Chain A
Amino acid sequence: MSEDPIIQLREVVKTFGTQRVLDRVNLDIYPGRTTVIAGGSGQGKSVTLKLILGLMKPDSGSILVHGRDITTMNRREMNEIRSHFGVLFQGSALLDSLSVFDNVALPLQERTTLGREQIRKKVLATLIQLGLIGHEEKFPAQLSGGMKKRVGLARALQLQPEIMLFDEPTTGLDPEKTMEIYRLFHETQGKFGYTAIIVSHDIPKVFNLADQVVVLNRGKLVTFDNPEDIQLSQIPEIQAFVKATMGHLYLSSDLE
């Protein structure tokens, strides 16, 4: 690959108590591409995400964003790096005290010098695009899970992030809503061209979107540049994981 990676994890170690969740992990993420981080629960998927976001510090190793190490940064530098990121949290993490409109407007109000009217226009445009118009006065508690995700996505896209991180974007949604989220993801990525990192259990469906799949297992990270390869892995834990999460897919290829 000729391009430089946008995010690099170098020998990252993270321990909780006695459990080593990440054990000297290396990972390269290239611009414009979609990376899926998979693995059983408790294998450190969300931890990896939080490390990249700078919400946690690794015990050792370095994390480079645009070639700059974020583990040694102070707050101000970190905030500058964070303006490149957009995040869709697992539970959407909308502020309960703000309406849908105010939630989406929040990053614009706090991070830009735009006037009231400009913010209003921009927010309404995004709400229309994500099919949220008519709900802007509602509060997060009045929304369904799928709607919250859409509002969360709208909020994350306000500052045109270079990198979007999705933490379990489809957990707790029915298959129809799941497809809708992936459709929105596809649409918005096509429009904004962001680099995507998706933490997901939803292996078969995410396959279609992924350029690269990494599986976390016992603190180690195995990268598959071609998602199909994951089924051919000889590591027993990964075989078990594949069997558990996409049994039908595995079986269908097995039958041939």
Chain B
Amino acid sequence: MLLQRIENIGELTLYYLHDLGRMGLFLLRTLRGGVQQPFRFRAMLRQIREIGANSMGVIFFTAAFTGMVLGLQGYYTLRKFGSEGMLGSAVSLSLLREMGPVLTALMVTGRAGSAMCAEVGIMRNSEQIDALECMAIDPFRYLLMPKFLATMISLPLLTMVFNVVGIFGGYLAGVKLLGVNPGAFFNGMEQSVVNKDIIMGLVKSLVFGLLIVWICTGRGYFVHQIRGAGYGAEAVSRVTTQAVVISSISILLWDYILTAILL
């Protein structure tokens, strides 16, 4: 009984180590796929449309409301200290450093990450990936590299859109609704934001982009080897859920790590 339990723990540990190694090799092979020719430029464009351009609506709404809430909350908190003038800097700093990159990454995970995972998973299940291999077409170059590049190009751009829309959301709530002086709002913003804040947001969104596409496509790619996922359509749905959960947690984890390093 006890022996059995220890055996199970050992087996599980081995499985997770194996899984981690597999994901690491997956990333390396994709990077190698990136330097191989021919580069699929049009496929990458299509992916940018899918991941980036088609996410604009979601990002726009999320950003506008996040900015407005920040304006509202910030105003009532700052009013206690009589520093409503700091509202601009509070809104812009929280957006640029934290909310922008993190919320954009979470929205893209939910919208595009899950779709990528399911797509790759279905391709694995219906032997499309095997078929590519049998035609001596490297699936890492053909299938995955366009997705990796597209995500890493789209996410920083989406984050910037999020920041700008969010700031105007904050402006709307703070200045138009609550009557903070517009000059003070923008002045405070310009004073407190430094280039480092923008660069920090950019670095974060690049790292998050890599995490999203790596975890989501990786889970889909190994859909047939994931422990306890089952087979067929059920496996794809379980693995997609797993991919979204792991991506989201990794984003928050790396957000902390990057903040600690970059601040």
Contacts and interface: CB of A to CB of B under 8 A. Distances in A.
Instruction: State yes or no: do A and B touch (Cβ within 8 Å).
Output: yes
Interface of A: 50, 53, 55, 75, 79-80, 82-83, 85, 87, 89-91, 93-96, 106-107, 110-111, 155, 159
A83 B128 contact: no
B137 A95 contact: no
B136 A55 contact: no
28 contacts: A53-B130, A53-B134, A55-B130, A55-B133, A55-B134, A80-B136, A82-B134, A82-B135, A82-B136, A85-B134, A87-B131, A89-B131, A93-B126, A93-B128, A94-B128, A94-B131, A95-B128, A95-B132, A96-B122, A106-B135, A106-B137, A107-B135, A110-B137, A111-B135, A111-B136, A111-B137, A155-B135, A159-B135
B125 to A, nearest CB: 9
Nearest to B130: A55
A90 B134 CA distance: 14
A87 B133 CA distance: 11
B190 interface: no
B135 A89 contact: no
B127 interface: yes
B168 interface: no
A48 to B, nearest CB: 14
Contacts of B131: 87, 89, 93-95
A79 B126 contact: no
A41 to B, nearest CB: 14
A91 B135 contact: no
B142 interface: yes
B172 interface: no
A91 to B, nearest CB: 5
B123 interface: yes
Given A90-B127, A106-B135, 16 more contacts: A50-B130, A53-B130, A55-B130, A55-B133, A55-B134, A82-B133, A85-B134, A87-B131, A93-B128, A96-B122, A96-B126, A106-B137, A110-B135, A110-B136, A110-B142, A155-B135
Contacts of A89: 127, 130-131
A96 B119 CA distance: 10
Contacts of B128: 93-96
Contacts of A55: 130, 133-134
Nearest to B131: A93
A50 B130 CA distance: 9
A87 B134 CA distance: 7
A157 to B, nearest CB: 12
A155 B135 CA distance: 9
A93 to B, nearest CB: 4
Contacts of A90: 127
Contacts of B135: 82, 106-107, 110-111, 155, 159
Nearest to B133: A55
A245 to B, nearest CB: 24
Interface in B117-152: 122-123, 126-128, 130-138, 142
Contacts of B130: 50, 53, 55, 89, 93
Contacts of A106: 135, 137
Contacts of B136: 79-80, 82-83, 110-111
A111 B37 CA distance: 11
Contacts of A87: 131, 134
A51 B2 CA distance: 39
B14 to A, nearest CB: 14
Contacts of A53: 130, 133-134
A207 B130 CA distance: 28
A91 B126 CA distance: 6
